[in-house]
Amino acid sequence: MAFPGDPAPIRRVLCFAAHPDDIDFGAAGTIASWTDAGITVCYCILTDGDAGGFSEQQRPGIIETRREEQRSAARFVGVKDISFLGYRDGFLEPTPDVVRSVVQQIRSVRPDVVISMHPERNWDRIQKSHPDHLACGEAVTRAVYPASENPYAFPELAAAGLSDYRVPWVWFFGGPGHLENHFVDITGFEDRKLAAIRVHASQHPDIGRMDATVRRMLSANARRAGLPEGRSAEAFHRVGINTEDTIAGF
């Protein structure tokens, strides 16, 4: 699968999210369409999710509960490779240690597309802009450029065999609506996306309302994209990092 201006077809995608379930809300329909087309998709979840849940009864074992929910959700959309970095939920910052961990993932997978939460706050729906979400977006942005492609950044990674790598594209989700410039028609994949979201039962006290809200958002995205009535879409802020239109060092 390729897009106009892409330096190469999409073969590998690496998705970053702050918490288990974030990627399912933001991009699970697109991911399902990719894996069905034979594209390899990997997940990297930055925090341990320990601040999630809605009752004291959920607290024991919440970290492993949320990890298993994410593993199960990933199976609905064809993803098998998941990394959990284990940073503390609610305290994520784009520190050099976090950026290094992200660079390590990027240089290991060497993806054609990086998907990430957006580093800019969405004032229209503040829930999209949890501080961990913003920190995830900022850490990924710093890792993509310049750290991942700088052979002198984190030399210990290069010494371990993880050489510098230039990311072609970053697709951000969950950011300000006016920055969204790319829509993916996921009609036919809505049920798999919602199945993946429902797996995160520890986070959703009202599954029916959640389902209706997600379907409404997908329909609104499709209308913004100019798709026919009845279609569904996911929205991204698509940024070229190393494409035919960019120049190294600028």
State the pLDDT confidence band at 4, using cuts at 50, 70 and 90.
Answer: very low
Three-class SS state of 27: helix
Asked if residue 250 belongs to a domain, the reply is no
pLDDT in tens, 174-223: 999 999 999 999 999 999 999 999 999 888 888 889 999 999 999 999 99
Tell me: pLDDT of 6 over 60: no
Q: How many helices (H) and strands (E) does the chain have?
A: 7, 7
Q: By percentage, how much of the chain surpasses pLDDT 90? A: 84
Residue 51 predicted with pLDDT over 90: no
The Cα 245–Cα 121 span in angstroms is: 27
Domain range for 62 is: 12-240
The answer to whether the beta carbons of residues 185 and 225 sit under 8 Å apart is: yes
Instruction: Note whether residue 113 is domain-resident.
Output: yes
Q: State yes or no: pLDDT of 16 exceeds 50.
A: yes
The alpha carbons of the chain give a radius of gyration, in whole angstroms, of: 17
CATH number of the domain enclosing 117: 3.40.50.10320
Is 56 part of a structural domain of the chain? Answer: yes
Residue 248 lies in a domain: no
- Give the tens place of pLDDT for each residue, 155-170: 999 999 999 999 999 9
Q: Is residue 82 assigned to a domain?
A: yes
pLDDT at res. 77: 98
In a domain, 192, yes or no: yes
DSSP code for 19: S
More confident residue, 57 or 158: 158
The tokens describing 10, both together, are: 């999409």
| Domain-embedded: residue 118 | yes
Q: How far is Cα 94 from Cα 76, in angstroms, rounded to an integer? A: 30
Say if 219 falls within a structural domain.
yes
The rounded distance, in Å, linking the Cα atoms of 131 and 137 is 10
Summarize pLDDT for 103-155 with one digit per residue, the tens: 999 999 999 999 999 999 999 989 889 999 999 999 999 999 999 999 999 99
Structural domains in the chain (count): 1
